[in-house]
Amino acid sequence: MSISLGTFLVRQTITAAAPMVLAGLGELLAELAGVIDIGIEGLMLAGALAAFLGAFVTGHGVAGLLVGILAGIFMAGIFGICSITFGADQIVVGTAINLLSLGTTGSIWMLFQTWSQNHQLSIHLTKAESFNRLALPGLAKIPFLGPAVFDQYALVYLTVAMAIAVGWILHRTRLGLVIRGMGDSPQTCAAAGIRVNLWRMTATLFAGGCAGAAGAYLSIMQTHSFAQNMTNGIGFVVLALVIFGRWTVWGLVGGCILFGAINSLQQTLQTARYTSHSAILHAMRHLPFEVFQMLPYVAALVALAIFAKSRPGPRFLGVPWRREV
Amino acid sequence: MTVGGCLAAAAGVLLLLAFMGFSPGHILNLWYRGSLGSRYALADTLTKACPLLLTGLAAAVTFRAGVFNIGAQGQLLVGAALAVAMSTRWLPPDTSPLIGIPLCLLAGAMAGALWGLLASLLELLRRVPMVLSTILLNFAALYLVKILLHSFLQAHGTSAPQSSQVPRHFCLPILMKYTSLHAGLFLAAGIVLILEWLQTMTVFGFQTTAIGLNAAAAKLAGMPAAWRQVQVMLIGAGCAGLAGAMQILGVAHFMTAKIGNYGYAGIAVALLGRLDPLGVAVAALFFGALDAGAQRAEESSLGLPHETANVIKAIIILSMLLVGAWSLRRTLRSGLARTDEGEATGA
């Protein structure tokens, strides 16, 4: 099926934005509850490798996804025990989690590569072991939009549903009020009989599951394989996007789409400048391709510089809660 | 307690590796031979400790004042790039090494400091959280360096992203034959002593510690909190930039973007060293030995990934946190109490 460049760009944008939205929703919930987990990059990485290995061993993509989610929850559990239960500094624990995840996945991956070489097995997943694009019947036939929006991985549709669900929970339910309250005034919550640390832990584990699924998306859906440090900073960009979106679901989704667009645009530009006849693109031919790779990070910085000041985050973000405080 | 935590972490990883079929005795033997077993191994440990020490200081000095500088890696990369630019492009080749080497090192430190200053300014003027800006700047620096290595700094006659060789006379003197142990070790040690003095004996050190404990209270007490935090960032980021320059002039002698993950490891070093310069030095030696040992284990027939060293580092931090032996706040408080006593007896 041949599709136009515009359709392709929109499609790539959504494909790139989905894992960021997924991980961002979890992080958003945790941050609103007062927990900032900068280990999200590590959680995603752990989820990516675990999902790959899960799919490789069981032969089913869905099982791989579940293993990825569990790995994210497990790593988030380590984070939670250190930073919530023991009240250690969240930034420090998050950094340690990133280091732990990078080291562990790196070691396991190197050992796995040696092992698969010895047994002459491919490190790429087969169709059954990974996810493929799922075209929604009927909708995918709509001109232009159909192949762009309704021919995505199943997880993308789930992510959309989850964004709506999280938005609704946060602003329309008592649970949402409790979550936001824990970030803004944990003492009030405690006075109302809410077990702050228990709920913070729940939010953290939820964020871990989301990050794990986002990691799985990278490995078993987008690339059908794993690579050392394959998240390559996406988790950190997500952290920036939560702030960029001013701690709202719609801001986050908008930010992710914007960055997905920048990402798909830079990838397209990298190749299009060699084939296109446009004078501007032609002039870009001599730029090192890293100029394009650098764009998303610089854009994140610029976005933060413009928007970070406009609305402060949860007041007790990153502050451990103890009864006697 | 700290030593116990380290041993427990190493033992835990050994146990895990034993389950995966690696003999712990064999690994320990390789680690020992790679890190402490001979003069050459010892020199290797010291060489590897050098950049860790400086990036460790980059984290320690800033963390202590409540500035979460996670950006040592970016500062190190920029520092290395400037040192390369200085030595291979800008300085006339016939410059005396007595002028050239200090200039290259200084350029690296300045570049690192300016890269760190970016994050400080973003926080001061635009309220961008330091944790995020420094991390994003790490990635920006990585790609910036790659761009430079593909263009301005690229060695002639190659398409690979690498710089030309640093002229021989601009390389740091080697202290021991057949090793990479370079004279930068003395410079690093000197910086540790200066920072230790700054921290324990001066008003500057007292104020930065107080600001790290409670910035609002420190401001009320009339301390220039924002300015001190910027100064601390300049010092820390300068250390990281120097680490990059030193690594180029002392060890690698040319540059690729894969200079090593010293920046992130530096955070672990700083925490293990309890944010105290002397402690950081000890922690850097320990991690240097760990890296040297891990490298030997990887090069051996065992083929144990050197990444295991990073796992041990991370578990060390986490186990120390978990045991409750360590907590940032408690460290800072006891640090302040010590400074108080010092002030009292000194007066």
Distance (Å, whole) CA B333 – CA B274: 12
Residues in A closer than 8 angstroms to B144, CB to CB, are 290, 294
List all residues of chain A from 218 to 237 with a beta carbon under 8 Å from chain B: 233, 236-237
- The whole-number pLDDT of residue B322 equals 66
Residue A11 vs residue B335, higher pLDDT: A11
Cβ pair B264:A96 closer than 8 A = no
Half-sphere exposure of B329 (CA within 13 A, CB side): 11
Q: Within A131-216, where are the H helices?
A: 145-149, 154-172, 174-184, 186-191, 196-216
Distance (Å, whole) CA B19 – CA B301: 18
User: DSSP characters for A204-258?
Assistant: HHHHHHHHHHHHHIIIIIIISS--TTTTTTHHHHHHHHHHHTTT-HHHHHHHHHH
- The whole-number pLDDT of residue A159 equals 93
* CB neighbours of residue A277 within 10 Å: 6
Q: How many residue contacts between A and B have a Cβ separation below 8 Å?
A: 143
Q: How far is B310 from chain A (nearest CA, A)?
A: 5
List all residues of chain A from 98 to 127 with a beta carbon under 8 Å from chain B: 98-104, 106-107, 110-111, 114
Residue B294 vs residue A23, higher pLDDT: A23
Residues in A closer than 8 angstroms to B120, CB to CB, are none
Distance (Å, whole) CA A286 – CA A269: 12
User: DSSP characters for B207-271?
Assistant: HHHHHHH-HHHHHHTT--HHHHHHHHHHHHHHHHHHHHHHIIIIIISS--S---SHHHHHHHHHH
Q: What Cα–Cα distance (Å) separates residue A81 from each residue in A23, A194, A321, B246? A: 20, 19, 13, 39
- Enter the tokens of residue A274: 């060699």
Task: Of A93-97, B8-12, B62-66, give the lowest mean pLDDT range.
Answer: B8-12
- The whole-number pLDDT of residue B257 equals 85
In chain B, where are the structural domains located? 2-346
Asked whether B252 and B51 are in contact (CB, 8 A), the reply is: no
Q: What Cα–Cα distance (Å) separates residue B83 from each residue in A288, B143, B150? A: 22, 17, 16
Confidence of residue B186 (pLDDT cuts 50, 70, 90): very high
CA angle B234, B240, B244 (to 5 degrees): 135
Asked whether B140 and A297 are in contact (CB, 8 A), the reply is: yes
Distance (Å, whole) CA B310 – CA B185: 23
Asked whether A82 and A95 are in contact (CB, 8 A), the reply is: no
Asked whether A244 and A251 are in contact (CB, 8 A), the reply is: yes
Please name the residue of chain B whose CA is at the shortest distance from the CA of residue A112.
B305
Which residue's structure tokens are 């009989």? Answer: A193
CA angle A129, A135, A139 (to 5 degrees): 165
Cβ pair B147:A297 closer than 8 A = no
Q: What Cα–Cα distance (Å) separates residue A148 from each residue in A127, A142, A252, A261? A: 22, 9, 21, 13
Share the mean pLDDT of chain B: 87
Name residue A32's amino acid: L
Q: Is residue B103 classed as helix, strand or coil in its secondary structure? A: helix
Residues in A closer than 8 angstroms to B267, CB to CB, are 92, 95, 99
Which residue's structure tokens are 């994003």? Answer: B136
Please check whether residue B139 touches A, CB under 8 A. Answer: yes
Q: What is the largest CA-CA distance in chain B?
A: 65
- The whole-number pLDDT of residue B80 equals 96
Q: How far is A297 from chain B (nearest CA, A)?
A: 6
- The whole-number pLDDT of residue A53 equals 95
* H or E stretch covering B112: helix B97-126
A281 exposed, middle or buried (CB, 10 Å; 0-12, 13-18, 19+)? middle
Residue B324 has pLDDT above 60, yes or no: no
- Enter the tokens of residue B145: 């360096």
Q: What is the mean pLDDT of residues B289-305?
A: 85
Distance (Å, whole) CA A253 – CA A166: 12
Of A81, A98, A294, the CB nearest to B140: A294
> Which residues are bridge partners to B154 per DSSP?
B163
Cβ pair B146:A102 closer than 8 A = no
Asked whether B313 and B262 are in contact (CB, 8 A), the reply is: no
List all residues of chain B from 250 to 289 with a beta carbon under 8 Å from chain A: 264-265, 267-268, 271
Distance (Å, whole) CA B160 – CA B148: 12
List all residues of chain A from 23 to 62 with a beta carbon under 8 Å from chain B: 38
- The whole-number pLDDT of residue B325 equals 42
Q: Which residues contact B59 (CB under 8 A, 6 or more apart)?
A: B69, B70, B72, B236, B266, B267, B269, B270, B271
Q: Is residue B39 classed as helix, strand or coil in its secondary structure? A: helix
Summarised one tens digit per residue, pLDDT across range B81-93 is: 999 999 999 988 8
Confidence of residue B344 (pLDDT cuts 50, 70, 90): very low
The yes or no reply on domain B2-346 and CATH 1.10.3470 is: yes
* H or E stretch covering A91: helix A90-118
Asked whether A73 and A212 are in contact (CB, 8 A), the reply is: yes
Report which listed range, A7-11, B209-213, B229-233, B319-323, is most confident: B229-233
Distance (Å, whole) CA A214 – CA A253: 14
Asked whether A33 and A186 are in contact (CB, 8 A), the reply is: no
Summarised one tens digit per residue, pLDDT across range A190-225 is: 888 889 999 999 999 999 999 999 999 999 988 888
Q: How far is B100 from chain A (nearest CA, A)?
A: 30
Whether this model's ipTM surpasses 0.85 comes out as no
- Enter the tokens of residue A205: 């584990």
List all residues of chain A from 170 to 209 with a beta carbon under 8 Å from chain B: none
B170 exposed, middle or buried (CB, 10 Å; 0-12, 13-18, 19+)? buried
Cβ pair A305:B126 closer than 8 A = yes
Confidence of residue B339 (pLDDT cuts 50, 70, 90): low
User: DSSP characters for B160-194?
Assistant: SS-BPPPPGGGSPPBSSTTS--BTHHHHHHHHHHH
Distance (Å, whole) CA A114 – CA A116: 6
User: Which of B312, B317, B323, B328 has the highest number of chain A CBs within 10 A, making it the mutation to test binding with A?
Assistant: B317
Query: What are the counts of helices (DSSP H) followed by strands (DSSP E) for chain B?
Result: 14, 0
- Enter the tokens of residue A52: 């790959």
Summarised one tens digit per residue, pLDDT across range B215-272 is: 899 999 999 999 999 999 999 999 999 999 999 999 999 998 888 889 888 988 998 8
Residue B105 has pLDDT above 60, yes or no: yes
Distance (Å, whole) CA B150 – CA B47: 28
* pLDDT, mean of each 10-residue run, chain A (325 residues): 76 91 96 93 96 92 94 96 85 87 90 88 80 77 76 87 94 92 89 91 97 94 88 89 89 92 84 73 75 87 83 81 62
